[in-house]
Chains A and B, each alone.
Chain A
Amino acid sequence: MGEPIVRYENVHKSFGAVEVLKGINLDLKQAEKVAVIGPSGSGKTTIIRMLMTLEEPTSGEIIVDGKNLWHMEKNGQLVPANEKHLRQVRGDIGMVFQHFNLFPHMTILENCMTAPIHVQKEDKKSAKERSIEMLEKVGLGDKLGNYPSQLSGGQKQRVAMARALVMRPKIMLFDEVTSALDPELVEEVLEVIRDIAHEGRMAMVLVTHEMEFARDIADRVLFLDGGVIAEQGSPEEVFGNSENKRLESFLRRFRR
């Protein structure tokens, strides 16, 4: 599989005086599925937000498909990335948020079509066809003309996934996409993610509290604690019998 599609090199992140991430080193292989687990406040969301360019690292580098995300070269020197550079590099990345963040003034179909048309300059007809196809795939083919306010949480989150997927990203980020949902709606969303994962083409980073689910679909599980990746390995290794005391006590809470 050659070069990693994403590489974090000694990435630090502070909010004010508080250092949340204290040196993250991580290679994400092409098409690899990585689950990120860890206690609340350990920086899971921050890790993927930096990759989505929603949060700037305090130091360190993030390399996406061979390109430095937060820095660019200018007169032979590395300088902070400008908006143009960020737009070039983040085009390969998509994200699904905990609170959906659908555009309330657009129909479901418009939510999906708008970025392919305006960002990728795809022609309207094919963007529409692909969007409809994608919405059918997530089981919402009968809701095209509806507005987000008319959908259940589970449906909203499936629209959010379709909206990200029509952009054909190489890397998809999921930030606890089921934790704002009523329990009975969680499974329909996880089901869609499983389908996407099994198609296999995209690299995926999933921040999740659904341990069963992580075990199910992840190639690798990271346990984030104390600002670093405290433990990582295959699901068997991480969920099996780890030596790590903190990981053990973290997992124990989910076994009950």
Chain B
Amino acid sequence: MNGNWNWDTFFDALPMVLEGIGITIGLTFACYLFALIFGFLWIFLRRIPVKSLNWIITWIMEFIRSTPPLVQLFFIFYAWPMVPVIGMALDPFTSAVLGLGIHFSTYIGEVYRSGIEGVDKGQWEASTALNFSIRQKWTKIILPQAIPPAIPMLGNYLIIMFKEVPLASTIGVVGILHMANSYGAQHWAYLEPLTIVAILFLILSYPSAILINKLEKKMNRRFDKKAIVKNSKGAVM
């Protein structure tokens, strides 16, 4: 291995590494979407008023959260096909979506939960007094108040997941890390391709972090902001 930095190698490796970027970003969003939806599932499962079920769900969530995502990934990809009856072989991308998606859904579920618990119980009572159905209480009153304050936190998890997605290269998902590794193996030069990977992560996650920060500030002011806009409309009514 040549220890010196070589710009030729850098530009040689760049196109190959960049080939993986679509997969890396795609996998991030697929996992994220999965986690966002599954996160809701946890909430509703936990709200089923059966004590024993409640306890089991809480325990499963705790178990998923305290096991490393890499172990879960390996389990789904290598061990799951060997489970009798329900087991089946999945391709690397699907395995990664399931593994990382489920893992992070438990965190996302917590974000939802704290958002929902942050809504004053008087809001539930007022919506009962106005005779809303249970479904309407959720969709019209509770979630519209619970989700906006959770958005910055949800955004944070997008960035965190983005940074965890390279784990998927261990089961053969050909994202940027996998590409960099292949290049390294072919040309016996790891410094430049891996530097490219690091730079790409920086380029993508730093602006996102700033964006989320902005979003957070905006969320804190949201009712006042909206009020001014609506007010001018209100006058026209």
Contact with A along B112-154 (1 / 0, CB 8 A): 0000000010110110111111101000110011001000000
Q: Let me know if B132 and A115 touch, CB within 8 A.
A: yes
Considering only CB atoms and an 8 Å cut-off, how many residues of chain A contact the other chain? Answer: 33
Give every chain B residue within 8 A of A150 (Cβ-Cβ). Answer: 224, 227
CA distance A95 to B131 in the complex (A): 11
CA distance A104 to B122 in the complex (A): 12
Q: Let me know if B131 and A119 touch, CB within 8 A.
A: yes
Set A95, A145, A164: member contacting B233, Cβ < 8 A: A145
CA distance A99 to B224 in the complex (A): 20
CA distance A107 to B230 in the complex (A): 8
A-B contact count (CB 8 A): 86
CA distance A24 to B129 in the complex (A): 22
Give every chain A residue within 8 A of B120 (Cβ-Cβ). Answer: 101
CA distance A153 to B144 in the complex (A): 23
Give every chain A residue within 8 A of B237 (Cβ-Cβ). Answer: 144-145
Q: Let me know if A163 and B130 touch, CB within 8 A.
A: yes
Query: In chain B between 10 and 66, which residues have their CB closer than 8 angstroms to a CB of chain A?
Result: none
Contact with B along A97-113 (1 / 0, CB 8 A): 10111111101010000
Query: In chain B between 139 and 171, which residues have their CB closer than 8 angstroms to a CB of chain A?
Result: 140-141, 144-145, 148
Give every chain A residue within 8 A of B128 (Cβ-Cβ). Answer: 52-54, 90
Set B125, B130, B227: member contacting A147, Cβ < 8 A: B227
CA distance A163 to B144 in the complex (A): 19
Query: In chain A between 33 and 50, which residues have their CB closer than 8 angstroms to a CB of chain B?
Result: none
Set A87, A100, A101, A163: member contacting B131, Cβ < 8 A: A87
| Nearest CB on A from B55, distance (A) | 22
Set B140, B223, B226, B234: member contacting A114, Cβ < 8 A: B140
| Nearest CB on A from B146, distance (A) | 10
CA distance A72 to B129 in the complex (A): 20
| Nearest CB on A from B54, distance (A) | 20
Set B123, B129, B132, B235: member contacting A52, Cβ < 8 A: B129
CA distance A163 to B132 in the complex (A): 13
Q: Which residue of B lies closest to A132 (CB)?
A: B237
Q: Let me know if A147 and B234 touch, CB within 8 A.
A: no
Set A94, A100, A109, A118: member contacting B132, Cβ < 8 A: A118
What are 23 A-B contacts with C-beta separation under 8 Å? Answer: A54-B128, A91-B131, A94-B129, A95-B129, A97-B122, A97-B129, A101-B125, A101-B126, A104-B145, A105-B148, A107-B227, A114-B130, A114-B140, A115-B131, A115-B132, A118-B136, A145-B230, A145-B232, A145-B233, A145-B235, A146-B234, A147-B224, A164-B129
Question: Chain B interface (Cβ within 8 Å of chain A)?
Answer: 120, 122-123, 125-126, 128-134, 136, 140-141, 144-145, 148, 223-224, 226-227, 230-235, 237
6 closest A-B pairs by beta carbon, nearest first, are A145-B234, A101-B126, A101-B122, A115-B130, A95-B129, A145-B231
Question: Chain A interface (Cβ within 8 Å of chain B)?
Answer: 52-54, 83, 87, 90-91, 93-95, 97, 99-105, 107, 109, 114-115, 118-119, 144-147, 149-150, 163-164, 167
